[in-house]
Each structure stands twice: as C-alpha cells, then as structure tokens.
Amino acid sequence: MSDRPICELTPGPDDEPWFAATARGVLLLRHCDDCGELHFPPRPICPHCFSDRTAFRESSGSGTIYSFSILRRVAVPYCIAYVTLDEGPTMLSNIVDCPFDRIAIGQRVRVVFRDSANGLKVPMFAPG
C-alpha cells in the first residue's frame, strides 16, 4: 500500500498560495465573497455564481468518506475516495494509513499531507 502520489503536479499561477499552505500542513478552500459558498478545487472563479471575488479560507481538514474504491490490480494498491469536508465541499483524494478492510462509507477522516513526485505536498485523508 502506497501513500506517495505518483503524479507530478504542475501548479498554475493561481495555485501558489494553496501549495504554500499545503507545505505548512494547512488545507485551503476558496470562499466566494458574493454568494458565500465554499468550493473545491480552489479555482479563482466561483462555480456557484461565476464571481471572481473569491478568497482562500482555512479548512478544518475533517470530513467523512462519501464513496471509495480500492484499486488492487496495480503495481501498488491504493484507495481513492470522495471525502465530504465538514465545511461542505467534496474532494477526490486518497485514503492512507489504514488497512483497506477498515475503510467504510461514512467513516470520519482527517487531512494528512504527502509529497508528490516533485515534492509538492498534496492532501490525503486518514482515519480520525
């Protein structure tokens, strides 16, 4: 079981604050100043009202597993999951630090950060 993302991330110009926060162990969401909604991925345009008046807000990093799939027929098995954060948005991520047979829908999880192939920190989730 691997907890190291094999992808190599290439951040865009709007991603710098987000990756700076992940390097500090902080998960950020975008908040829309016009409609008040939080969203993820943290794109600068609100997907709810299309406003460009958005700003980063710190997430608690806690949530529940909405759905998951365990990929076993690969060189290094892993679990991918949709995690609904306590603040509302749902993220696609990995579940780590847990045997596959202990992962369940509705399970409480907390964010942990792992290095990607090029060293950037990415959020994943572990039981907690």
List the domain range (segments joined by +) for residue 71. Answer: 13-127
Q: What is the CATH number of the domain that holds 43?
A: 2.40.50.840
Residue 88 falls inside a structural domain: yes
Tell me: pLDDT of 3 over 80.
no
- pLDDT over 70 for what percent of the chain? 93
Q: Which residue has better confidence, 15 or 34?
A: 34
- 113, 125 contact by CB (below 8 A): no
Domain assignment present for 1: no
Residue 47, SS3?
coil
Give 1's pLDDT tier (boundaries 50, 70, 90): very low
Q: CA 4, CA 122: separation in Å to the nearest integer? A: 9
89 domain residue, yes or no: yes
Residue 8 lies in a domain: no
Does a structural domain hold residue 118?
yes
Instruction: Report the pLDDT averaged over residues 97-114.
Output: 97
Q: CA quadruple 15, 65, 3, 72: dihedral positive or negative? A: negative
Q: Indicate whether 89 pLDDT > 50.
A: yes
CA distance to 9, 42, 46, 86, per residue, from 38 (Å): 23, 9, 8, 11
Q: Residue 44, Cα to own-chain centre: how many angstroms?
A: 17
Number of domains in the chain: 1
Which two structure tokens, joined as six digits, stand for 41?
A: 């991925």
3 within a domain of the structure (yes/no)? no
Q: Considering the domain boundaries, does residue 93 fall inside one?
A: yes
Is the pLDDT score of 30 beyond 60?
Answer: yes
Q: Is the pLDDT of residue 2 over 70?
A: no
Whole-angstrom Cα distance, residue 24 to residue 52?
26
